[in-house]
Amino acid sequence: MTSPNFILQPTGKGTLSPSIWIALLALFTATGVIFRQISIPIFPPFVSLTPGFLMPLLAGMVLGPLGGALCGLFVGVSGALWEFPLIPLIGNIALGLSTGIPSFYRNRMSPVLWMSLCVVSAMIIGGFLPTFIVEVLVIGFPPSIATLTASIDALQAIVWVVVALFLVMIIVDPILNRYRSPIEFSE
C-alpha cells in the first residue's frame, strides 16, 4: 500500500495527517512572516539579513517540497512589502524547495547525506541563485556585484539551514514522530 497522502509526504518516518500538515504549515508561515519583518539591510532594498530564511527551510524539511514552497510563498509576499519584490518572493519559495526536495527522499538516504544535501541545496538553490538571477537578468546589475550580494544570501542560507537542521533533529522530529503514519512502499 502506498502512502495515503503522497503529495504531502514530509520525511522518511511516515506521513502526517492532512489536518496536522495544514496546521504546521500555518504555524511555520505565521512565524516566518513575523521573522521576515526583522531584518538588517545590507544592500537596500536588495539584500538584508533576516531570520525569515529559517521558516521556509524548516517547513521544507518537515512538510516536504510543497509545504516548503507554500510557506516560502507567503513569507516571500510579506518580505516583498519592504524589498525589491522578486528577490524575497522567488528566494523564499526556493528556500522551501531547497530543503523540501532532499527531505522528500530522506528515507532513502543516510542522515549525513540528507543533512549535506539540505545545506548545499539551501546555499545554492535557496540563497545564491534567486538573488543572482534576479539581480543580473531583471535589475541589470553587473555579474560581479550580483555575485557579491548573492554570496551574502548564500552564507545566510547556510547559517539558517544549520539552525533548521538542529531544530528538526532535536525538537521537531521527536515530537512529530508520534503523529506520523508509517510509509509502505509498493515494489
Give the tens place of pLDDT for each residue, 7-21: 555 545 567 788 888
Degrees (nearest 5) of the Cα angle 148, 31, 106? 75
What is this structure's pTM?
0.88
- Which runs of E-coded beta strand occur in the chain? 40-43, 47-49
Q: Which 8-state DSSP code applies to residue 83? A: S
- pLDDT tens for each residue of 82-122: 777 888 899 999 999 999 999 888 888 899 999 999 999 99
**What integer pLDDT is reported at residue 12 of this predicted model?**
52
Q: Which residues pair with residue 40 across a beta bridge?
A: 49
Say if CB 126 and CB 76 are below 8 A apart. Answer: no
Overall average pLDDT of the 14-32 stretch: 89
Q: CA 128, CA 135: separation in Å to the nearest integer?
A: 11
Overall average pLDDT of the 169-173 stretch: 93
Q: CA 55, CA 57: separation in Å to the nearest integer?
A: 5
Closest CA to 16 of 81, 75, 63: 63
- CATH of span 15-178: 1.10.1760.20
